[in-house]
Structure 1
Amino acid sequence: MDLLVKDVKKESPWSMMFADDVEICEPTQEALQDKLEQWRKALEERGMRISRVKTQYICTKDAKNLYINLQEEQLTLLMKFKYLGSYMQSDGGLEAKIQHRINSGWMNWSTETWPITKAQEEKMEVAEVRMLRWMSGVTQKYRLRNEYIRGTVKVGPIGQKIQESRQRWYVHVQRRVEYYVRRRIEDPEIGGPRRRGRPKLRDKVAGDLREKGWLREEALDRNLWTRRIQQSNTDPN
């Protein structure tokens, strides 16, 4: 597959392949239309075919009067997209992803790159406490505080665990080479208006460092960083 598209494929994250699926990112409608046609020719000239039904697109800008065609067929525009259990919204929000995690009962997996807001964090903590109460067989009639429940089952707040995951992810990324894909997308510039109140990932990381009193340069010392995370994110007693 790599050999078939080596002339049209761009470096990640602009072009990425997952099994038999392909993701193409471009800053403008015209660029996306041209790149899609390049991929079509590269594949169909070699006996492969792009599905006109399954090929869809999502836009981070105002999608009015924005259409993408594959030859003569207009593709489907989505407001949110689900792939491998993860959601992406056109407005860049996390609401669909968080609600899916709550419904599934697994909220802390792969959350290190979420630019989560305080309200979204509180929503997840409410859901987590309900799960802990159910697991412990405790209902509201017992009049036990959430802190007592957490101390009994030795589970810290979900916001604290997300912060710990983000800190571990940050030190991992900082120790990689400059051309590593996560270094290239660590602080992306995405076109279109940013919804009011939605933080950027770099803002969350900067807030973590400011709260802990840590320096960015110290992330290169793996042992120091790991020891600090273990000391600052302990289970409640």
Structure 2
Amino acid sequence: MDAITRDLREPVPWTLLYADDVLLVSEDKDELEREVRAWCDLLERFGLRLNVEKTEYLTDVTESTPSRYGIELPRTSVFKYLGPAVAPDGKLMVEVNSRVSAACSKWRLLTGVLSDRKIPERLKSKIYRAIVRPAMYGAERWPATKETESRRSVMETKMLRWRAGATRLDRIRNDAICQKFGVAVRRRSAWKGRQHPLDRP
């Protein structure tokens, strides 16, 4: 795929390839349709064909729907490419909500293990860090707005309070519970390491 499309590809982020998938980005609908036609023509010369059923488009304006092979392409409200979710308005909350939902799904799968009193707390912490937290991959790089911080923090705090068996009636502070499991310290360290990579000795 890399070899046969080398002359057609635009620099990142206008063209992205992954295995046999391609992402085309354009600021103009007509230009995008020309690019799609060029890609289809090139692929057909090598015996390949664009899978219209798996092709969709994302836009932030209301306009006519592009088509290929006489079939209108479906419009999507959220586009996922290699994990991250992209919204038409470019706002991050779609990605935040997607990652939080993924973490919650992993958490629900593990509640039986994490509530088992026969399993040591240290092992539970390792399981949490190895399975649940990776679902939030990239969260440290999100812009630190009140909205994103609140969404992520509420989700993780609920999980940790449940793990600790603490309710609001116990009057235990959230930061105390996070500190108990070493979560707050790790997050700050991770953020510092990404913000100041040149400060390391």
Q: TM-score range by the shorter chain?
A: 0.7 to 0.9
Partner of 1:82: 80
- Greater shift, 8-17 or 133-142, is seen at 133-142
Q: Does 1:149 align with 2:149?
A: no
Report % sequence identity: 29
Q: Per-residue CA shift, 1:126-176, capped at 9, x if unaligned?
A: 1111111122222222111112212222221797467436516xx5xxxxx
Q: Does 1:91 align with 2:89?
A: yes
- Greater shift, 106-115 or 92-101, is seen at 106-115
Correspondences of 1:97-116 after superposition (within 5 Å): 97-105=95-103, 106=133, 108-115=136-143
Correspondences of 1:1-237 after superposition (within 5 Å): 1-59=1-59, 61-62=60-61, 64-105=62-103, 106=133, 108-115=136-143, 117-156=145-184, 160=188, 163-164=191-192, 166-167=194-195, 171=197, 222=198, 225-226=199-200
Q: Say if 1:124 and 1:158, in contact at 8 Å, map to a contact too.
A: no
How far has the Cα of 1:28 moved from its partner?
0.8
Cα 1:137–1:166 shift into 2, 3 Å: same
Structure 2: unaligned runs, 5 residues or longer:
104-132
Partner of 2:117: none
Quote the Cα distance in structure 2 between the aligned partners of 1:3 and 1:83: 22
How far has the Cα of 1:2 moved from its partner?
1.6
Q: Say if 1:16 and 1:22, in contact at 8 Å, map to a contact too.
A: yes
How far has the Cα of 1:85 moved from its partner?
3.5
Matched residues, number: 171
Quote the Cα distance in structure 2 between the aligned partners of 1:79 and 1:154: 37
How far has the Cα of 1:108 moved from its partner?
3.9
Q: Say if 1:82 and 1:88, in contact at 8 Å, map to a contact too.
A: yes
Counterpart amino acid of 1:80? V
Quote the Cα distance in structure 2 between the aligned partners of 1:28 and 1:158: 44
How far has the Cα of 1:24 moved from its partner?
0.8
Quote the Cα distance in structure 2 between the aligned partners of 1:161 and 1:100: 24
User: How large is the Cα RMSD of the aligned pairs?
Assistant: 2.4
Quote the Cα distance in structure 2 between the aligned partners of 1:3 and 1:33: 23
Secondary structure of 1:38's match?
Answer: helix
If the length of structure 2 is used for normalisation, what is the TM-score? 0.74
Secondary structure of 1:58's match?
Answer: coil
Structure 1: unaligned runs, 5 residues or longer:
172-221, 228-237
Q: Per-residue CA shift, 1:72-126, capped at 9, x if unaligned?
A: 2221111112344431111112223222222222364123543353122112111
Counterpart amino acid of 2:159? M
Quote the Cα distance in structure 2 between the aligned partners of 1:137 and 1:18: 44
Quote the Cα distance in structure 1 between the aligned partners of 2:189 and 2:74: 37
Secondary structure of 2:169's match?
Answer: helix
Q: Greater helix percent: which structure?
A: 2
Q: Say if 2:86 and 2:95, in contact at 8 Å, map to a contact too.
A: yes
Secondary structure of 1:122's match?
Answer: helix
Counterpart amino acid of 1:58? L
